[in-house]
């Protein structure tokens, strides 16, 4: 009996080893476990919970898109450069640095964030991990383009869940910095929905299409949809090739639309014309000067 008990104990898998094996399957080769603990994606014991797994999946999926773009960039002194807008705790910036910039040995990531305490925390973490080619700038997305702490040109602009007009500000930043690529995941668009609400009575009397945003819930959804369509047309009018896809499955996030813009230099006149036509159709002409100033 004693021998059989010993054999059963020997055959039973070690829980700690099993957890370590499962974690290794989730992470990328060479990825810093210490970083993931600092970002609270892993617990102090090095475990993943369901919420952390979901967050990690989103960031990994976005990283796959960004990595391909970074690999397309020509070898230039000081490059590549990436500016992450609405950085928050800089999950995205830190993971991009850890998985790509660290081994590359060159290039720089700039995190742009309005909350000073998050900027200070990110600066301290970068120092602790030896990520010396990461900088964090305490400013708004709108003011970042003129901030002297950021270089004149930026290769890649990212904005993950930048709320409302912050995505438009990130686009304006990318245009001014002559970004080769923009990677945008819009969030909580309210500006167009507000304009639709204000002109709802006039629109209902003018066109049956206004039924699409007569109810409050539909106004919000239509405002979000129209906003992203206008952004895509604007980018095309400014010389970018645009692709729209899902970031992750809907079961992981409702803020799911990923806009990828690649600079080609071919400004589409048809996109500019359609942009102006849509602004007129929905009574949004007032937004053109502030949000969609078309190139000459």
| All domains of the chain in start order, with CATH | 52-186 (3.40.50.150), 189-239+261-296 (no CATH)
Chain segment 240-260, per-residue pLDDT in tens: 999 999 886 544 445 678 999
pLDDT classification of 41: cutoffs 50, 70, 90: confident
Q: Which residue has the higher pLDDT, 41 or 158?
A: 158
Distance CA 171, CA 292 (A): 10
pTM of the entire structure? Answer: 0.86
Distance CA 256, CA 186 (A): 8
Strand boundaries in the chain, DSSP class E: 81-85, 108-113, 134-138, 156-163, 181-187, 240-246, 257-263
Under 8 Å between Cβ of 246 and 256: yes
- Max CA-CA distance within the chain? 89
pLDDT classification of 14: cutoffs 50, 70, 90: low
């Amino acid at each position: 009996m004693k021998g059989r008990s010993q054999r059963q104990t020997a055959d039973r898998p070690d829980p700690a080893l099993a957890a370590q094996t499962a974690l290794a399957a989730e992470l990328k080769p060479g990825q810093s476990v210490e970083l993931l603990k600092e970002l609270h994606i892993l617990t102090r014991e090095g475990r993943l919970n369901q919420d952390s797994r979901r967050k990690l999946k989103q960031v990994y999926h976005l990283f796959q898109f960004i990595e391909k773009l970074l690999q397309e960039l020509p070898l230039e002194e000081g490059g590549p450069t990436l500016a992450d807008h609405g950085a928050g705790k800089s999950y995205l910036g830190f993971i991009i640095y850890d998985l790509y910039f660290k081994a590359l040995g060159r290039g720089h990531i700039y995190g742009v964030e309005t909350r000073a305490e998050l900027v200070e925390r990110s600066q301290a973490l970068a120092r602790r991990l030896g990520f010396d080619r990461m900088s964090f700038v305490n400013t708004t997305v709108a003011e970042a383009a003129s901030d002297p702490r950021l270089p004149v040109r930026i290769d890649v602009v990212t904005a993950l869940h930048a709320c409302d007009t912050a995505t438009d500000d990130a686009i304006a930043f990318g245009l001014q910095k002559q970004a080769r690529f923009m990677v945008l995941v819009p969030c909580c668009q309210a500006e167009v929905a507000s304009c639709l609400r204000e002109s709802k009575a006039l629109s209902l009397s003018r066109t049956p299409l206004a039924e699409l945003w007569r109810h409050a819930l539909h106004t919000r959804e239509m405002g979000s949809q129209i906003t992203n369509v206008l952004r895509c047309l604007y980018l095309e009018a400014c010389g970018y090739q645009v692709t729209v896809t899902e970031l992750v499955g809907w079961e992981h996030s409702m803020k799911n639309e990923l806009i990828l813009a690649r600079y080609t230099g071919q400004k589409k006149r048809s996109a500019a014309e359609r942009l102006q036509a849509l602004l007129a159709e929905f009574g949004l002409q007032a937004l053109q000067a502030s949000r969609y100033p078309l190139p000459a």
